[in-house]
Amino acid sequence: MSGIILPGADGMLFQRDRDWHPPADTPGYKSSTFRAPRHSLLALGPTRSEMTGPTFGHEKLGELDNDLIRNFSQDGNEAIGQRMIVYGQVLDENARPVPDTLVEYWQANAGGRYRHKKEGYLAALDPNFGGFGRSITDENGFYHFRTVKPGAYPWPNGGNDWRPAHIHFSVFGHAFAQRLITQMYFEGDPMIWQCPIVATIPDKAAIDQLIARLDRHNTTPMDALAYRFDIVLRGRRSTMFENKLEGN
C-alpha cells in the first residue's frame, strides 16, 4: 500500500493501493508494451469543457436501447444465442447507489464475432445482432439489459490466445472526462483463467469483481438466465477500470 489517502465523498478516508491495478507494460499482453508510457507522467488539470456537460437523461434513450436481442433485428426477428438478462447496481465508494448514470455495453455475438470492419474472426455475423446498447441507472443505481451470451473468440496475441466470453462496459459521469471502462466475465467460465489480458491483473480479488454472478432468482422462466454485475466507481472495493488507476 502507498501512503496516499484520498477523502471519500462523506469525509471518510480510503487508502490507495498502487499494486492493485496491472502495470502499464505487461509483456504477456503484447500490445500493452507498445502503449505503455516511456516517460514520467505529467499532471494536467482538467479544462472547463471536460468538467461540465454533457449530462444524460432518460428521455434520450430509445425504447430498445437496452434490448440487444431486438435493437438491431429486422422484420420482427431476434438475435440468435443463449438469452439472458444482465443487471446490476452502480455504487460509490460508500456503497451508495449512483442514479442517472449512462451505462453503455458492447459485445461479440453468440459465435464470438463483432460487427466491426476490422474483425478478423471467421465466425458468422448474426444479421439480427448489433452488439451494443445503453441504459441510464434508476433512482437506486440499477441498470439492466437483455442480450445473448457472447461467444469466446481468438485474437492475435500469442499463437493461440482466446478471450473468455465478456461484455465491455462504459460508465459516464457528468462529463466525458469522467468515463470509466471495464469488462464483465461470466461465473464458472474456465476461459477466464487462461486469458492474457485477465492475467495482467495481479490481484485475484480484482478479477473476481469483474465476474458476473449467475442469479437464478431473477431468471425469466422459459426465456432468459440472469447475471448480476455491480460496478463500484471508486474506493477500496472499486471495480477495476481499464482507464483509471485505483483510487484516482
Active-site residue list: 114, 153, 163, 166, 168
Give the CA distances from residue 220 to residues 18, 211, 215, 223, 243, in Å, rounded to whole numbers and listed in that order.
41, 21, 11, 5, 34
Helix (H, G, I), strand (E, B) or coil at 198: helix
Query: In angstroms, what CA-CA distances link 46 with 51, 110, 177, 178, 181?
Result: 7, 40, 8, 10, 19
Please give the span between the terminal C-alpha atoms of the chain, in angstroms, as a whole number.
14
Structural Rg of the chain based on CA atoms: 19
Q: Strand 211-214 to strand 180-186: parallel, antiparallel, or no bridges (unpaired)?
A: parallel
Residue of 242, 216, 237 whose CA lies nearest to 228: 216
Omega cis (within 30) before 54:
yes
Report residue 101 as a C-alpha cell. 448514470
